[in-house]
Amino acid sequence: MDTYEIMSIGDKLKNLRKKYNLSQDDLAGNQITRNLISQIEHNKANLTKSSAKIMLTNLKKICDKKNTEVEENIDYLLEDERSQANKVLDRYIRELKDLTVYRDGAFLSKLSEIEEFLAKWDIKDKKITIFEMAGDYYSNIRDFYNSSMYYEKAKAIMDGDIHNEDMLSVLRKLSMIYYYMGKYEEDIKCCDFAINHFDNMSEEYYCIFVYNRSLCYMNLKQHDIALEGFKKIKPITKQMSIDKYYDVCTQIAACLAELKRYDESLQLYYKILNYVGEKKYEKHIMVFINVVEIYMLLGNDEKIKENLNLIFETKKHLNENFVYLPETYFQIGKIGKNLKDLKLAEEYYEQALTYAKKNMRYYLEADILCELIDLYIEQNNKEKILDVMNEFFILTGKEGKISTKVMYKLIDFYLSIKDINSLRDILSFSKKFI
């Protein structure tokens, strides 16, 4: 912070006199009064350009006699505190950009320093830039909760100018982050706001918001609305990007399956597999999982086995940074459960939990813990259920609120075996968050 000291014009004059060992009369000369300089130094009067020129002229005359070079100029003297603060924030923004690649705490340390500076200087355009950069940083390290907080801060500052292009950028990012957080209703509102208030948005932005909104409707089990949205952007994405087009087709196939239109869904899935490149492992595995789920409903054991083998083969090629890796493993776990293969289910539920925790996907953690409780009850594994209870405590502490669906499952189990001590532990812990 010392490097970026903000000085009033009055303080700069005082420092100038001290540096060159001058009196107020020396600076005033015969053209302005000593009293004016005193008023300026005490921040009770403004420094005009003409007065600044007189002071610098007098300063240079005195310094010339002493063979001393004057380093300051008129721009330095006239630059007010807000202009200085703007320059400081520009430097901070450059520093933040340089630190985005580091994961050693340097970015967060600098961000904390900047926020302390911003508490004194409310410069909105710089705040927006900095908060959006912070949101991007947290998004890149999969900390979606902090990411959403900073994007929301940026959005709040821009609310007075809803048609700003920067607002559209932040809304797009929020629509992605809300989905990862399981905040589907908020995500839909975010997408609707963007679509309804930006009449001239690009086709790319339009497709992004409709796509993200439709994904949310899928997760809210409103598959007919989701299907309508995906169909609306299907022809547009075909002109934009073949990858985006097949992403939309995959979601259409998923909606068709949920609406029990299995033949249409399977036809579309196989079309996707034929056209998507062989090394698009992330797209392939999602299709294979969905295809298995359809064949399970249709009771086609041969096709289930065939596609399960494809899932396990494709899984070997998945990148650990694949954003949907927790969901992918969770879905494989569900397949194991439905096939009564509890070993397979447990293996993939536990892997899903590991990656959900790593990526701070709290809502998904809760879903996985519920499935693990059911599985461990079926296995009569009390020790593992105790592990789940501890995970529930950790999750609640991180999220700051209770996942009631996990809590009720634990209570039901411990009531069924009359384990009063465990029930007391749950009650005692939960009281802190009610």
Q: What is the pLDDT of residue 359?
A: 86
Which range of 106-120, 161-175, 205-219 scores highest in mean pLDDT? It is 205-219
Q: What is the pLDDT of residue 211?
A: 98
Residue 372 has pLDDT above 70, yes or no: yes
CATH superfamily assigned to domain 2-79: lambda repressor-like DNA-binding domains (1.10.260.40)
Give the CATH architecture of domain 84-199.
Alpha Horseshoe (1.25)
Q: What is the pLDDT of residue 161?
A: 62
- Please compute the mean of the pLDDT values over residues 216-239 and round it to a whole number: 97
Residue 1 has pLDDT above 80, yes or no: no
Q: What is the pLDDT of residue 22?
A: 87
Q: What is the pLDDT of residue 158?
A: 87
The tens digit of pLDDT for each residue in 69-82 reads 888 888 888 888 89
Residue 162 has pLDDT above 80, yes or no: no
Residue 185 has pLDDT above 70, yes or no: yes
Tell me which of 213 and 338 has the higher pLDDT. 213
The tens digit of pLDDT for each residue in 136-157 reads 999 998 899 999 999 999 999 9
Rounded CA-CA distance 245/229 in Å is: 13
- Domain spans, the chain: 2-79, 84-199, 360-434
Residue 171 pLDDT level (bands cut at 50, 70, 90): very high
The mean of the pLDDT values for the chain is: 92
Q: What is the pLDDT of residue 276?
A: 84
Residue 2 has pLDDT above 50, yes or no: no
Residue 231 pLDDT level (bands cut at 50, 70, 90): very high
